[in-house]
Structure formats: structure tokens, C-alpha cells
Structure 1
Amino acid sequence: MMMRPGEKFIRNLPLQRKLMLIIMSCCTATLFVSSLFFVTREAKVLYRDQQEYLVSVADLIGKNSAPALVFNDLKSVQETIRPLTQKSNILAVYILNQEGRLFARYHALEAEHAALPLEYLPDWASADDVARAMQQVSGESYTSSFLSGYASVVQPIRLDHEQVGTVVIQANAKGFLHSLRWTILVALGFMAVTFLVFCLFSARLQLMISAPLLGLLAAMKEISAGKNFALRVTKPCDDEIGMLYDGFNDMLHEIEERDQILRQRQAHLQQLAHYDPLTRLPNRTLFYDRLAQALFHAERSHEAVAVIFIDLDHFKDINDTLGHRTGDLLLIEVAGRLGTVVRSCDTVARLGGDEFTIFCQNVASPENAALVAQKLVALFAAPFRLGASEIRVTASVGVTLYPHDGRSVDELLMNADIAMYHAKGCGKNVYSLFDKRMNEHASERVTLLADLRQAIEQGEFVLHYQPKVDLLTGKVTSVEALVRWMHPRLGMLAPDKFIRLAEEGGMIAELTEWVMRTACLQARAWQEADLAPVRVAVNLSPFHFQRQDVKQSICAVLGSTGLDPALLEIEITESALMQNDEYTCRVLSELRDMGITISVDDFGTGYSSLSYLHRFPINTLKIDRTFILNMMKSSEDQAIVTAIIAMAKSLKMQIVAEGVESVDQLETLKDQGCHEIQGFLVSRPVNAERVARFFTDEDHLQAHTAAADTLEGGTARQLVRGTE
């Protein structure tokens, strides 16, 4: 809505002037109305007095001139009105006869007044002309006193109650106007004095109102400038302004509380934005910022900075088997230990997951950086005590140096990450200093990952099969399907070269489904070729259990290939069992009810425990090859193998020993009651045509044992090896 200029001007006036304007406007209006009433009343009184005087004169003239008027005695009438010449205020007197014509007149010569309606009528004027003039006199009888300066009165002349004529008197109204002016001057003087008094009073009154409000405004400005919400204002009175002060103080109290909460939340958000909520260490953002500042300082001071990347080994297994709560507690303990190694000028940060980073300023040499890395690795030698249990975990450490290995934050972190992965490749629980040749390896890894995607699309994979033989009969009971990659540039690659890449690249589910479908089709082909029924074993990645589509995938493959579920064996790792034990237990039970055999692969390398084995529907335990290879020269490994076999028997499970390469291993396993073996002593992984030769009723162990006995010094281990 558009405001008028005057309204806009008033709205923009200061409060004091607005109050002054309101008070003075009200006072002025009141004084004006009161004075107007007084002047009007006084004017009416003066006018009434004037008219009463003229009426009395007219009555006197009428009584004296009535007989003469009846007898048409002009001279007598003139004699009657002649004394009026002595009245200075009488301007004119007119006598009208009964017919309404002018009969006699008197006019004061020294006071001619051109505005008198009857003045210029001739004595012979008609009755109509006189009547029109009389109407004008009657119509202006009131206003003429104020506007024309003369007063008029018309009075009938009666004789014996009969009108015989009319007398018209017009008098000078100067006395009336003079009295009226005096009255107006008195009223104006009264207004002026009263207005002055009101000005003084209103100034004091508006000060009483505006001073507290201005004080409140000053307090608001002070609080706004200083953000001091703890300030309070003193209430000046108990009226509405005092209530306003109380409300203002209450509002300040509320704002102060909210400001405190806001500051706490801002501090919390600042903490969340720059610190890891679990370990309270700096996060990636703060680490990047601090490292950038450290590099800037190092460049100016010509100093070296060591950037260290730390990754816990097998941390995922701890999360999967012991739960994420235990994993979180472990990360907190690790963060505490890392802080004991570095100096106050260095920074320890958690980038996410089980990855930690450290940068150390003013590092004199690579040897000093290596010394810090050694201390970091040594931190993990002692077990971590979490509540009532102890957990052992190791770490792989990568180290890079500024400015030798890189000059930017991203480059240094990338190099430290590459060095850390190199340490993992060297067996873990070690540190590795960055070397530029590692970049070539990392580049090859990226290239291999891209090739892997293309390999799945172009079908560059093949399956080899390794038989499992019953120790009592020597017959093949099943074969394990092992995938190989026929790389067009690098040749045949074993699974350890690309399986982890497939898991990291999110392609393991697609690759596993191809392996299962191909193996089931091959098993169906062996069936149709009237060969002895042999199960085919396929390794399932833990990622299938994370996706929770294991049963659907297996049922889809069996349905499309038409393979009897009894001829399919599923091999899973211990970590896959522990990822989601409720779901895994339910799915494995459903699969075993279908007739599928369930095996636990590489048993003994994880968190092997009867506490979970008896809860899962497991048919077979496969003892990991590392225990089999060392059992003949390590009493500890032999004791582990003996314990696993005894435990499996107590749970009524089949036992398969992987990696059997010598007759001594074979005989020892047979003596301890192992059910089946798998290894180079029988056959290395071969293609489908060659493995089909084992599908006979003959004793395959007898022939291979005889061949092995001809080798001196147990050199059966030197048979051509393939990687499972």
C-alpha cells in the first residue's frame, strides 16, 4: 500500500517528536473546539442583545406610528421617527403601509450604506418590489451582522391586534463586531497561554514516556553490538513500559539460553566437521588442512615431512566375527597407542574405517622416518585388551617423504597409500618406504582392474578342476572348480592375482555366478557322458552373503543347468559364516535341505571355534594347506591338525586335508582319521577332460603313492605346482 507523503513523514519522525506531535495535536484540537464553542456562544449572546434592542425600538415606533398610519398621516409618522436621528447606530428606518408599499423612511445621511436592500427603492415602488426587498432583508437578517456590517429587524405594526403596517430598522453592527472581535482576541489569548502551558506539560509527559523507551533502545544497541545477552535492564516503573522491560529481560534470558545451546551445537558441529567422532582424532578434512600448513612451513624452512599411512590387517574379519562394537573399541585403543609414538608437533588422524594417517615434521632423514614406522609396527606386538578378552591385530605401514617423493598433499597421501599396499603384499605387519617403482605396480594394478572388467564381458576365464580322494577307497568323491584367467597379454593368471581385484571392483558376484554356472554345466555334461557321479565344489565369496541373495543365485543356476543339487558342493570361508550368522545359518540350512553339500574352506586360519560350528549346518571341514605343509616339521601345526580332525569327528563332519604333497603327509592324515585329501600328490588342477580320467573305481592313491615312493628325500613336493 502506497503511503501519502505526510503519513510517511510522520512515520519516520523520532519517537519524542511523535509523542510531542500527538500531545500538541490533541491539545490544539481541544483548545480550538473549546474556544470555538466559547466564541460562538458569546457571538450569539451579543447578537441577541443587539436584536432585542432593535426590536424594542421597532415596537416603540410601531406603537407611536400606528394611528397615523391608519389615517395616512405621513407627517405624524415622520415626526415619530425623527428622534431616531439622534441614534448614531441607526442607519435607516422604513414604514410600510398595510398594502406593503413604502409609506415613510428615514436614512442617516452621514452613514450611507449601499448594501441596504430598501435604500434605492423609490417612494412609488410597487408592492412586489418592496416584497422582494423585504425577502432579502429577512434572509440576510442574521448573516448581514457578520458579513455586511449592519443588522436588520422587521416588526409588524398593530392596532387593536390588527396589522396596519410594518416597520423595518437597519442599524450599524460595528458595536456587535467590536465586541465579537474582543471576545475572539480573549479566546486567542487564552489559547496561546494554555498552549504554552500544554507545551511545557507535554514536554515533561513525553519525556516520561520516551526516556524509558530510549533507554531500552540504547540497551538493545549495546547488546546487539557486544552480543552480551547476559545484560539486563532495570525496570523504571510498574506500568506497561515496566511490563515491556520485564518482557525484554525475559527475551534476553531466552536468547541467552538459546545462544549457549547454539554455541554448544556449533562447537559440536565444528568437532564433527574436523574430528572423528569415534576416536576423537582429526579427520580427513583437518588432516589435509594441517598437512598443507606443515608443507608450507617445511618449504620455507627447507625441512622434510614424513607422511605415514597405517591400515589394520584383517580388521574386517574382526568386525564380521566379533561384531562392530568390538571393532569400534579396537579402533579407539589403536588411536590411543598411535598418539604415544608421535611428538606434539605431529598429527595423528583417522581417514575412515581402519585407516590412520600421521605426518611428522622436521624429519632429518629417511632413516628417522623408518624408525618411526618401526615403532608404529611394534605398537601392535602387544595384544589389545577389550573388556575380558584380548585381541591381537597387526598393521601395514606405508611411509613417504616430502619433498623427495612428492610436494602436494594428495600426491604424498597417494604415495603413502601405495607404500602401505606394498607392505601388505610383503606379508603384512611390516612397514614399507615409498619407492617410485611402486607407482608402476599400482599402475599395473589399475590396468589389470580395467582388463578384468573386459575379461568378464569377453569370456577370458576358464575352469580347472582338482580332485578330492577318499583315503579309504582311493576313489574321487568330488572335484573343486578353480578359475583361471587367460589374459591376452600376461598369459594364464591364478586366482590370487585377480580375485581380490574382483572383490574390490564389485565384480566378484558376477564372476562367481559364471564359475558356478560353468561348473554345473560341466557336471551335467559328465552325467550325460555316463561317468561316475562326482560332486563339483564351487567357492562362494563372502560378498554373496552381504547381498543376501545366495539361495536365489544358486537356485537360478541349478534351474537353468538342470543339475541335481546333490552333485553341487558350496565352499565358504569362516569370515563368510560370521558376517550375518542368523541369515547365513538360515540360508545354509535351506541349501542343505535341498541336498547341497556345505563345506568350510581354509579352516583354522580364521576365528575357528566350536561356539559357532555347532550352530551351522556344515557337512565338511577343509583343513588349510599351511598346516598340512608344515605338519611334518612342526609339532604345533601337527597338533592343530589333530585337534581339527578330532573336533570335526565330534561334530560328525567330513574332513578334507588340502595341499597334500607327500606320502608322509598322506600316511599321517590316514592314521589320524582324516576322510579325504586334495593336493598335488593326487593331481594338480587340470582341465575338464583330464580330470574326467579320475572318475573311475580304481584306487588313485595306490598308484600315486607308488610313484612318490620312487622319489628320493620326499621330493614329491617338487611336482609341478598350481595355485588353487
Structure 2
Amino acid sequence: MSSSVFSSTLTKGVGRRIFVLFLVAALVPVLFTAFLAYSEINRSIRQEVQSALGTDAKAYGVDVLSRLTAASDKAQQIVASVERSLAIEYETDAYLVDDFEAIWIQDSNDVHLQLFGNFYKQIPLERVDMGHLQGGGSQLMTVNVNGRHDLVMARLVNDGEYSDKLIFFDLKSGPIWVPKANLPYMTDFCVFAPTGETLFCTDERAAESSLLADHLDRVRQNEVFEGDIDGEMYIAASWQLFMASEFRHPAFDVVALQPASYALRSGADFGRVFPPALALVIVLVGFLSFNLIGRSLVPLRRLTVAAGEFAGGKLSSRVRMRTGDEFQDLGDAFNNMAERLGKQISTLKAMSDIDRMILSGATFEEVCECVVGHLVELTGCGAAAVIAKDADAPRYAKMVSFAGQDYEHERIASPQEDGDDESEDMHILELAQKDRDEAPYRDYFEAHGQTHVVVIPVILNGDMKGRLLLGSESQNPFPEYIVHRCVDIAGRLAVASASVEREEELYRQAHFDELTGLPNRQLLMDRLEQHLVLARRDGEFGAMLFLDLDRFKEINDVYGHSVGDVVLVQAAERIISEVRGTDTVARLGGDEFVVVMPRLAGEEPARSTAARLLTRLSEAFNVRGTDHFVSGSIGIVMFPEDGDSVETLLKNADSAMYRAKDAGRSRYEFFSARLNAESSRRIQLERDLRRACQEDGLDVRYQPQFNILDNVISGAEALVRWPHPEHGDIPPSEFIALAEDSALVVEIGRWVIERTCQNLREMLDKRLHPGPMSINVSARQLRDEHFIKDVLEPLHRYDIHPGYMQLEITETTVAQNRDTAIGILQSLRDSGVKVAMDDFGTGYSSLSYLQDLPFDLIKIDKSFVDKIATGDRAEMICRTIITMAHEFGKQAIAEGVETAEQAEFLKAHKCDFVQGHFYSEPLPHDEFLTFIEQQDFHTMRRKALEIIS
């Protein structure tokens, strides 16, 4: 059997698994038995070693104890000699000092007397157990001397001058610790103090190693401990030498240790014998199993080779096997499978490529190229094409074709064919019988020698997306299974078409405004970021125009969103018509538009464009036969100088736009640093105003109104004031404009009516009658659906006659929503509430509708009163307004009267009422209450009767 067969059998496949199973079946019992035997032998050896080392440690410890006892006896004899002669009798007792390095006496005052040797160590007396010594015993102590641990023995001298003094004996290590020559073979000993210090080791390497000291707790528990000492493994066991009763010293740990190589030599012998025996078993089992496997797996190996060729795409390969058994049946099944796979693999590859292109975001044209290429490969046809609808031109179609060389893209008329039901089913056309309207692709296929075309519709959920066209030279060119595969590809192409349409729709929804078709905020931010980067890189300038439509909200509220939407679309068209083709026009939302103008030479192009836009936007917007008028306020920033980021540019442009609004609307403003500061202040004030509304931070002042004939109070105007905690009193002209822009004016107006009714109720309870209280009403309040309730509900709740309430409405407010405003005012007037026409002559004054307005009083604006006695035409206007009011059966009141000349003029021309600083400035509620209390009671009673009558 060749080495290649041997290698293939052992390295892969069933042969390797069977071979491994044979080996496992033979070796597992052998290995298990060997493991148990080895474990048991090793355990027994270790137990024997532990026992032997423990015995050796004990013998060594007992020997040390006997030597210590002998030393103690010698010490006792020396003590007796000292007590007799106050010195050591060397002539007769010289042998007694052989075990000692030094002997000295120490009293309680740490005074000592050296008796023998030169060594002296001051011993703390608190370590001495006097009770034990007084009983005649010896005490052993461990003393650290220059890093060396010495044993010192203490006894008590009980006679003569030395009575109650201590005598200390420093023991020599040699006589105490047995010399190494007297130790068991290959065995070393170490003695450790209770605190872990090494007292003595027969082997210097063990003494210098910290291994035994670090694992002393394990040794004390009689565990067999193995460790590396100077590169050699040792086994150790211990025994404790107890000395507490005799020497008043904690037990010493005596450790006996042997090299592991010597202690475990019996187990090593077993380890050397076992591997050769195991190798012999493996060789025998492997040889027998390999021969059996090799004869059985040749057919399987052939099938494996064939399967590998199939997997590599060689589906033409076949398995030749004549074994007459199951392996032959399996080989025939392999051959049949290869034949079927060869027919399907092209279709699967085509559909896989289409799926990949769908997922990778390829264009529809690229997908079509992939499809027609696979159609030609799958069917073998002379030419193939894909026809798909052209979304930009429904009367035309896109055709992608392929005839084995280059892909061709062209635009053709949308195929009409015969219009019957078969156009939505797979069918075959004979080109010669179809004209070019029915088959606009006829010329292409005839140019490639095709006489027939198989048409396979591309349909998804009933929607015809296109057609697959397969050229042929005969009526029935393709087998049925090929046609089925082409139908599958058509289905996949329909999915691709829907996916592309969905992606395009999602992109449009995400980046374009649905109403106007303009880029939205996200696309604007992307393009503006690109222009900003290019402007910084190339040193160029650009401009951004932030445009807001003025009075658009009024059109939306009065005529509805449908009309407002038409106005927005027309405004977008006008803006586009006035900018360059390279400019970007975007809608941020609502009535806000942005124009980005890159690559400008300076400010002038932005200025002229803004002027043109204002002109176009001021023209009438005709919606359903009605002209609507709006204007625009434009804020302009130049980039990159006015901002280094998109967010900063938008913020600064917005600030400039609001500056244009504050300056009178229908104009443009360039951004400046001062404008930025004003914008920041405006934002902060708006935030503070909102907080003031929520936290009752506003105040109402009352300016009295007087009958000009008798100077008797006839009423008062409630004026809202804002005492800012940091900036002081904020002018009404500033914070009322903020409230109008942020819709807070409705909430503020509701609060003023509530507070005025509350104060009026307090006056009425004191039997004071100030007359009607005038309250200004804005256009936003008048458009609010709860306005009538906001006026009448507080009057009813505080039980106040409606005649005490007078609403001041400007002409502009009524003109913005004439019919609705007249209806609301008439309803309130019918309830008893009075109505005054405020700032008359400054807005949309028109006699054609003035006679229809439900009002009781005309108020002459302060701008006319200021110019009385100056020779201006304002005097004529004042006279005309007073006369006109009287002609309408109404009364006239002049506001802002500040001089005697103005008062005399108005009185001379029969103005009914006046108010202003000449008579009284606006008063806080408490001061106004005091002012009313000073009025004549009968006059106030008469006014009350006039109100309720």
C-alpha cells in the first residue's frame, strides 16, 4: 500500500475517524490502568517519603532537645559555681562553658557583669518569665544579633550579692545543631522559630531560600511540600519541637527535606518502563486497523474526489465505480445530482449577482447589465435585452441590451404590442409580424440575426416594471426549465426595480420638501457645509439669504392651510426664478426659505438678489381667484467671514432676518456683530418674558381718561408693564413685539383681562366706579378661538357688568380678518362689552367698511396729537376724525395729550375724552385706587348708572 494512500487515510475523512476509534478502544483501557497504577505507586511512594521525612525530623528534633537539656544542666552547674564563688571556676568547670559563646549577669536596672566571652546583648526583662526561673527552671529565648538568630538561655542567681539577678547564656550553634555528617543520607534539616525566622539549616541553599519559610503553614499541617530550591525540586516534612513546659519557649518547627529526584526514585523507574510498552501497543493496533480501513475506503475516497470537483465547478466530472454495492448506488446518485446542478447553477449565480447588486446599492442600469449578461450565458441566445419604464418620461422606456460583446443603452418608445392580456404573460413574438410601434426593439434584434423574441414580463404586485427579451432564430428555442429559470430572474429584476424606486423615494423624502420640492434642512446643511469648506480652501466668498414670509401666518389662519400651501409653492417658484442655476434654494419649514449663493465676488450680488426677491414676493399671489399679499424679511450672511460652521451661519442669518422684521419688514439686513448681540438679547428677553408670564412677573398700570368738558374721570386704560428683575422696566414697544412674534401675546392678553377684572372688582366692592376699563387686543387674540370666553368668563366670575369692559382694536387687526373680526366684536358688543377703534388713521382706514364695524369710540393716535400746535396737517386730521366720529354717532378720544395747547385744541373742536401725561401718567393699582377715592361720589354714581342702564 503506497505512502500516499497511507497519508490520506490517516489525515482526513472516515478512515482517520475509524483509525482513531480503534486506537482509542485499545489505548484507553491500557492508559487508564497505567494511570491508576502510576497514581497508586506515586501516592504510596509519597506517603513513605512523608513518613520517613517526618520520622527523621522528629529524631533530629529530639536530639536537639536533648542537647538543649544538656546545655541547661551545664548552665545550672555554672549558676551553682557562681553562687559559691561569685565567679566561674575554670580549673574545675572549664568543660561547662564549651556549649556557650558568652555568659553575663544582668539586674533589673540593666546593669550587667560579663562572666565569660565577649558577647553581650541587652535582654528586655519583660521577656523573662520570673515565675518559671524562680522555680529553678531555664528559659530559652531567640535573640536577633546582626541579622543572625541566636539562642540565649536565662536562669536566676539566688545567692549573695547576685540574688534576684539574671544570668544569661548565649548558646553555641555547633553543639546544639547536629553536624551534617551525622544526618541521614541525602537529607537536610532546617529549624524555624515560631515567627518563621530560619534558626538553622544544614544546607546553606535552603537557609538562603525563602521557599520553606513562605510555605511553613503547609509544612506544619504535615503536607508533603514540593518546591524549587536553587534549581532543584525538594520534598519536605516537619515535626514540631515543643519546649513550652521546660524552656518557656514556643515550639520550633523542624523540617526534613530531600531532593525529589532521590526521594521519588522508585516512581521514576516505573515511568521509564511504561512508555516503551505503550508504544508497542500503539504500533500493533495501528498496523492492524490501517490494513482493514485501507481496503474499505477506496470507493469512498473516489466519491470524495468527485464531490470536490463538483464543489469546484467541474460539474462535467463523473464517478466511475463498479463495486456492486451501496457505494455504486451512491456514485450513480452523485452523477445525477451533478447533471441537475449544472442546469441550475447559472440561474442561481445570476440571481445571486442580482441580489448582491441590490444590497450594494447598484444603479438599475447596472443591474440590467448583469441580467442581460446572465440571460445570454444561460440560454445561449444571440441577443438579450431588458426594457424598463422611464420615470422621467412615461412615454419612453430604457433598453439595456447585450449580444456577447458590449452592453448598449438606449431610449426607445414604450412598447405598445397588441394590448391584450398576453402582454402580461410570457409569450413569443415573430418580429416580422410586428411593426415598430408594437415592438420598438425590432431593429436591434433583427440586426443580430434574430427572427423571434421571447417576452417575459417583469411584474411585482401587479405593477408592470418592464420586460425581458430573449432573441431566437426559431419558434420554440428554449427548453421549459430554461424558461422557468428566466422567469425567476425576471422576478428578481422586479424586486431590484422596486428597491431602486424605494431608495430614490426615501432619498427624496429625506432630502427634499414634500410640498415645494425644494431641498430640505438636511440637504441644505450638507450643501452649505460643502460650500463652506470650498470657500475656506479656495479663499472665496459666498452668501446665504435667510428669508421669512411676512403676514403668511395670517393667510394660513384666515384662509386655511390649503391656500397657504399654494402661496408657499408660488413663493418657492418665484425665489427659484430670481437666483442663479448654481445657487441652492431650500425650505427650512413653515414660511422660511434659504438661498445659498457660492462663489461671489462681494456683497453686491447678494444685495441685488435680495432686492429682486423682495420685489417679486411683494406681488400679489392669486389663489382661487383671490389676491393675497405677503412680503419678505431677509437676513444675509457672508461666509466664511460671518461664521465658521453651518450652525453659526444659520443662527446669524436668523438674527439678521429678525433685525429686518424689527426694522419694518419687507427689507433685508446684513449680519453684524452688533446685530448678533441684539439677537442674543432678544432671545434672552423672550425667555425671561415667558418665565414672567408663568411666575406672575408682569404688572398692570391704569391711565385715567377724562371728560374734556369737566375734567371728570370717565374711565381708564389698562396698560401692561414688565419690571425686569435685572434690566429694570422693559419698554412695552419691545416686549409686546416679542410677545407678538412668539404667540405669548394671547397668554399675556388673557392675564391682563383677568387682573383688570380682579382689580375692578376690588374697586366696585369699595363703591368706587372708575368707568369703563380699556384693554388693548392684538390680532392673534382676535384669531384665538377662545377669545370670547377669555373676555366674558372673568366678567361673570367676578360679577362685573360687561359695560365696565372696553376693548381697543386697531384698524389693521380688523382688516387682516375682517369678517371673522366683525363677528367676534359684534358678539361681544351684544353682550354689553364696549369696543374702541384704536390708533385710528394709521392703518387701513376705509369708509367702505368703517360703517360696518361694531364700535363705540374712535381713538385718535398719539402721532397726530403730538403735532397739534406745530402748524402740521395733523390738526386738520384730528378735526376730521372728531367730526367723522360724531357723524357716525360715535365718540372720540385723544391719547397722548401732554400739553395745555393740545388739550385746548381738542376741547375747542369738541373731542369727547382725553388721556395723557398732561392729566395723569399710568398709575399702579394702589395709586389708581387712591385717585378714584378722591373723585366726587355723585359723579361716580352717575357713571355707574350710565354703564348698567
Structure of greater Rg:
1
Is 1:496 paired with 2:744? Answer: no
Q: Is the 8 A contact 2:458 2:465 kept in 1?
A: no
Deviation at 1:484? 1.4
Q: Which residue of the partner structure matches residue 624 of structure 1? A: 861
**More displaced 10-residue stretch of structure 1: 342-351 or 603-612:** 603-612
Q: Which residue of the partner structure matches residue 553 of structure 1? A: 790
Given the alignment, which residue of 539, 563, 569 partners 1:302? Answer: 539
- Match for 2:540: what amino acid? E
Q: Which residue of the partner structure matches residue 387 of structure 2? A: 228
Evaluate the alpha carbon distance shift between residue 553 and residue 254 of structure 1 in structure 2; reply closer, same or farther with a 3 A threshold.
closer
Deviation at 1:335? 4.0
- Give distance in 1, aligned partners of 2:826 and 2:619: 36
- Give distance in 2, aligned partners of 1:305 and 1:660: 52
**Higher fraction of strand:** 2
- Match for 1:493: what amino acid? I
- Give distance in 1, aligned partners of 2:593 and 2:586: 6
- Give distance in 2, aligned partners of 1:374 and 1:323: 29
Q: Is the 8 A contact 1:321 1:607 kept in 2?
A: no
- Match for 1:495: what amino acid? P
Q: Matches of residues 627-666 of structure 1 in structure 2 within 5 Å?
A: 627-629=864-866, 648-649=885-886, 651-662=888-899, 665-666=902-903
Using the size of structure 1 for normalisation, the TM-score is 0.55
Q: Which residue of the partner structure matches residue 668 of structure 2? A: 431
Evaluate the alpha carbon distance shift between residue 544 and residue 417 of structure 1 in structure 2; reply closer, same or farther with a 3 A threshold.
same
Evaluate the alpha carbon distance shift between residue 327 and residue 627 of structure 1 in structure 2; reply closer, same or farther with a 3 A threshold.
farther
- Give distance in 1, aligned partners of 2:461 and 2:715: 80
- Give distance in 2, aligned partners of 1:324 and 1:673: 48
Deviation at 1:359? 1.7
Using the size of structure 2 for normalisation, the TM-score is 0.43
How many residues matched? 485
**1:369-427 Cα deviation digits (max 9, x unpaired):** 455545555666x6547488877654332222222121221210111111222233334
Q: Which residue of the partner structure matches residue 448 of structure 1? A: 685
Is 1:357 paired with 2:594? Answer: yes
Q: Is the 8 A contact 1:423 1:432 kept in 2?
A: yes
Evaluate the alpha carbon distance shift between residue 629 and residue 282 of structure 1 in structure 2; reply closer, same or farther with a 3 A threshold.
farther
- Give distance in 2, aligned partners of 1:356 and 1:633: 46
Evaluate the alpha carbon distance shift between residue 586 and residue 340 of structure 1 in structure 2; reply closer, same or farther with a 3 A threshold.
closer
Q: Which residue of the partner structure matches residue 596 of structure 1? A: 833
Q: Which residue of the partner structure matches residue 775 of structure 2? A: 538
Is 1:480 paired with 2:720? Answer: no
Task: Give the SS at the match of 2:701.
Answer: strand
**More displaced 10-residue stretch of structure 1: 258-267 or 629-638:** 258-267
- Match for 2:463: what amino acid? I
- Give distance in 1, aligned partners of 2:458 and 2:599: 56
**More displaced 10-residue stretch of structure 1: 582-591 or 290-299:** 582-591
Deviation at 1:456? 3.5
Q: Is the 8 A contact 2:862 2:894 kept in 1?
A: yes
Q: Matches of residues 100-499 of structure 1 in structure 2 within 5 Å?
A: 225=371, 228-229=387-388, 233-235=426-428, 249=457, 254-256=462-464, 274-276=511-513, 279-317=516-554, 331=568, 334-366=571-603, 369-370=606-607, 372-373=609-610, 376-377=613-614, 383-384=619-620, 386=622, 394-499=631-736
- Give distance in 1, aligned partners of 2:852 and 2:611: 42
**1:293-337 Cα deviation digits (max 9, x unpaired):** 222322332212211212344444555567767655655554455
**1:59-83 Cα deviation digits (max 9, x unpaired):** xxxxxxxxxxxxxxxxxxxxxxxxx
Q: Which residue of the partner structure matches residue 569 of structure 1? A: 806
**1:215-257 Cα deviation digits (max 9, x unpaired):** 9x999999793663579753499xxxxxxx9996595895326
**1:192-235 Cα deviation digits (max 9, x unpaired):** xxxxxxxxxxxxxxx9xxx9xx99x9999997936635797534
Q: Is the 8 A contact 1:622 1:658 kept in 2?
A: yes
Deviation at 1:583? 6.0
Evaluate the alpha carbon distance shift between residue 338 and residue 672 of structure 1 in structure 2; reply closer, same or farther with a 3 A threshold.
farther
Is 1:685 paired with 2:930? Answer: no
Q: Is the 8 A contact 1:383 1:390 kept in 2?
A: no
Q: Is the 8 A contact 2:350 2:371 kept in 1?
A: no
- Give distance in 1, aligned partners of 2:675 and 2:454: 73
Q: Which runs of 5+ in 1 are unaligned?
A: 1-206, 238-244, 701-724
Deviation at 1:648? 4.6
Evaluate the alpha carbon distance shift between residue 249 and residue 450 of structure 1 in structure 2; reply closer, same or farther with a 3 A threshold.
closer
Q: Is the 8 A contact 1:396 1:420 kept in 2?
A: yes
- Give distance in 1, aligned partners of 2:868 and 2:557: 29
Evaluate the alpha carbon distance shift between residue 489 and residue 218 of structure 1 in structure 2; reply closer, same or farther with a 3 A threshold.
closer
- Match for 1:570: what amino acid? L
Q: Is the 8 A contact 2:716 2:770 kept in 1?
A: no
Task: Give the SS at the match of 2:599.
Answer: coil
- Give distance in 1, aligned partners of 2:459 and 2:636: 57
**More displaced 10-residue stretch of structure 1: 522-531 or 484-493:** 522-531
% identity of equivalent residues: 35
- Give distance in 1, aligned partners of 2:745 and 2:594: 29
- Match for 1:395: what amino acid? G
Evaluate the alpha carbon distance shift between residue 684 and residue 263 of structure 1 in structure 2; reply closer, same or farther with a 3 A threshold.
farther
Evaluate the alpha carbon distance shift between residue 682 and residue 618 of structure 1 in structure 2; reply closer, same or farther with a 3 A threshold.
same
Q: Is the 8 A contact 1:229 1:252 kept in 2?
A: no
- Match for 1:482: what amino acid? L
CA RMSD of aligned residues (A): 4.8
- Match for 1:234: what amino acid? H
Q: Matches of residues 498-537 of structure 1 in structure 2 within 5 Å?
A: 498-505=735-742, 507-537=744-774
Task: Give the SS at the match of 1:548.
Answer: coil
Relative contact order, higher structure (CA 8 A, sep 6+)? 1
Task: Give the SS at the match of 1:361.
Answer: strand
Deviation at 1:347? 2.1
Q: Is the 8 A contact 1:306 1:399 kept in 2?
A: yes
Evaluate the alpha carbon distance shift between residue 364 and residue 218 of structure 1 in structure 2; reply closer, same or farther with a 3 A threshold.
closer
Deviation at 1:680? 3.1
Deviation at 1:569? 1.6
- Match for 2:856: what amino acid? N
Q: Is the 8 A contact 2:459 2:465 kept in 1?
A: no
Task: Give the SS at the match of 2:642.
Answer: coil
Q: Is the 8 A contact 2:807 2:836 kept in 1?
A: yes
Q: Which residue of the partner structure matches residue 175 of structure 1? A: none
Deviation at 1:609? 4.3
Deviation at 1:481? 0.8
Evaluate the alpha carbon distance shift between residue 339 and residue 674 of structure 1 in structure 2; reply closer, same or farther with a 3 A threshold.
farther
Evaluate the alpha carbon distance shift between residue 337 and residue 641 of structure 1 in structure 2; reply closer, same or farther with a 3 A threshold.
farther
Task: Give the SS at the match of 1:432.
Answer: strand
- Match for 1:352: what amino acid? G
- Give distance in 1, aligned partners of 2:739 and 2:774: 20
Deviation at 1:520? 2.0
